Amino acid sequence: MEPILKGRNLVKRYGRVTALDHCDFDLMPGEILAVIGDNGAGKSTLIKAVSGAATPDEGEIWLEGRKVDFHSPIDAREAGIETVYQTLAMSPALSITDNMFMGREIRRKGPLGSVFRMLDRPAMEKFARDKLNELGLMTIQNINQAVETLSGGQRQGVAVARAAAFGSKVIILDEPTAALGVKESRRVLDLIQDVKSRGIPIILISHNMPHVFEVADRIHVHRLGKRLCVIDPKDYTMSDAVAFMTGAKEPPEQDRAA
């Protein structure tokens, strides 16, 4: 099976710091791939490279077997890679519906839409409601409620629903549970599984080992700017993973990345 998203030999330097040092990366279709690593290992830089937020100095990125060259997050988004950052890009004062669309609004049919740019609000509200429903997020009562009135978990839910709604091929979640309580984290983990069950692969960056071990199919361990190994969470303990991450222990040969 070919990876849906693949990085080869990625290098990114910031002055004297090499944040990515000939790094490889593979996301397989339909999987949840966790990316773990110590602070400063280069996880965010890797994610920025595959999501268009940073241009690598060297190396190649392939999406569905085609080489891609992203110059901005918009390029990546248009190609089907949606990133949900911990600091959610949402407008708190706007409604859930408006936040779901942001730049992709449905216009009225005919000249009212094309000339006067009038929005088809009923269609937008229906779409938003359907999408939240599909993902079991209808604890949200009112689709026209401002996002600032939602709980942290619900906001994360809206952001993930937005990513899942627009035909994404890959969803990247950066520390989705970091700011959440136990119950809200639970909801977000369930939501991640739901998105996976729709066939959309997910890259999950997280420092939370129990969460990683609960949902990930494979774990990419990042150390010193590159992929050290990829492990199956069923074969290792959380303390093994942390030991690989920090360099306290070396992974066995068969799991080492080339």
Ligand X SMILES: Nc1ncnc2c1ncn2[C@@H]1O[C@H](COP(=O)(O)OP(=O)(O)OP(=O)(O)O)[C@@H](O)[C@H]1O
State the residues that interact with ligand X by CB under 6 A.
14, 17, 19, 37, 39-45
Nearest-approach distance from CB 242 to ligand X, in angstroms: 13
CA distance 73 to 55: 10
Indicate the residue among 137 and 205 with the shorter CB distance to ligand X.
205
> Quick one: how far is CA 87 from the chain centroid?
13
What are the Cα distances from residue 189, in Å, to 83, 114, 184? 16, 40, 9
- Measured distance CA(73)–CA(124) in Å, rounded: 24
* Distance in Å, CB of 181 to ligand X, minimum: 21
Q: In this structure, what are the phi and psi dihedrals at residue 32, rounded to the nearest 5 degrees?
A: -105, 115
Q: Which is nearer to ligand X, 135 or 212 (CB)?
A: 212
Cα–Cα distances in angstroms (integers) from residue 211 to residues 35, 136, 195, in the given order? 12, 20, 16
Report, in Å, the least distance between residue 48 CB and ligand X. 7
Instruction: Tell the smallest beta-carbon distance from residue 40 to ligand X (Å).
Output: 4
The H or E element containing residue 227 is: strand 226-231
Structure tokens at 126: 């229906």
Q: How far apart are CA 36 and CA 165, in angstroms?
A: 27
Residue closer to ligand X (CB basis): 6 or 223: 223
- Cβ at position 10, least distance to ligand X in Å: 12
Q: How far is the CB of 17 from ligand X (least distance, A)?
A: 5
* Least distance between ligand X and beta carbon 11 (Å): 12
Residue 129 or 222: the one with the smaller Cβ distance to ligand X is: 222
Q: Which is nearer to ligand X, 42 or 251 (CB)?
A: 42
Residue with smaller CB distance to ligand X, 17 or 248: 17
Alpha helices in 55-208 (DSSP H): 73-79, 96-101, 111-114, 121-134, 152-165, 182-197
Strands 202-205 and 32-37: parallel
Nearest to residue 206, comparing CAs of 234, 172, 240? 172
17 or 112: whose CB is closer to ligand X? 17
Please state, in angstroms and rounded to a whole number, the distance separating the CA atoms of residues 81 and 216.
19
